[in-house]
Amino acid sequence: MTRRYELIVFDWDGTLMDSAGAIVACMQAAARDVGVPVPDDERASHVIGLGLQDALSHAVPGLGRDQYAEFVERYRVHFLARDAQLPLFPGTREMLGALRARGHTLAVATGKSRAGLARALAQAGLADLFAATRCADQCEPKPHPAMLYELMEELDAVPASTLMIGDTSHDLQMAAAAGVSAIAVGYGAHPREALRALAPLALVDSSEELARWLQANA
């Protein structure tokens, strides 16, 4: 079977797992716990996918350096209370299985930590579907292209045959910097208008539409 893209790289939160709302709520709860101004939904959701320092600098600019550890710990407490119940988007498991059956190599590039992604993959039962992963504590975080560069090198792929799929402008900017095509999903963390402005190959409105696009075009 002819494949346009040998390597397909997925973001995790807001792309495969319906977790963006939980991340926002946990960030806001941590801010209340620490006693700093609580970010609104737009500010908190904008930082999903970034590395920790960049995310905190934008989402909670009033947070002192000496408060980082406490904030992260409170965020972790709130998130761990929720993450076992966070669902995959509808049809995600079937979509990934179909891509693997067609011979695509699958990978993950995420702003999660290595431990957080390992836990999420295990809970979702998807670990065996991905040939490689990169997390924000393994290399330069998004929108730097390091994650994609390292995945392509590890999996013997080239930019022309690699596709990035994500729900944030950070994903699309990372893909552009790496010379990789990108699909935007409009059901995650960032507004459709911000995603469309970065000219992805397609902007899909549901996980089902994403599966159809990949079936027809990948």
Known catalytic residues? 11, 13
Angle between helices 68-80 and 20-34 (to 10 degrees): 130
Angle between helices 169-178 and 146-154 (to 10 degrees): 60
Quick one: tokens of 121?
């993959």
CA-CA-CA-CA dihedral for 58, 146, 210, 194, to nearest 10: 40
Could you tell me how many residues make up the chain?
218
Quick one: tokens of 87?
């669902």
The CB-based long-range contact list for 61-68 (8 Å cut-off, 24+ gap) reads: 62/36, 62/37, 63/31, 63/34, 63/36, 67/34, 67/36
Closest among 178, 169, 171, 167 to 109, alpha carbons compared: 171
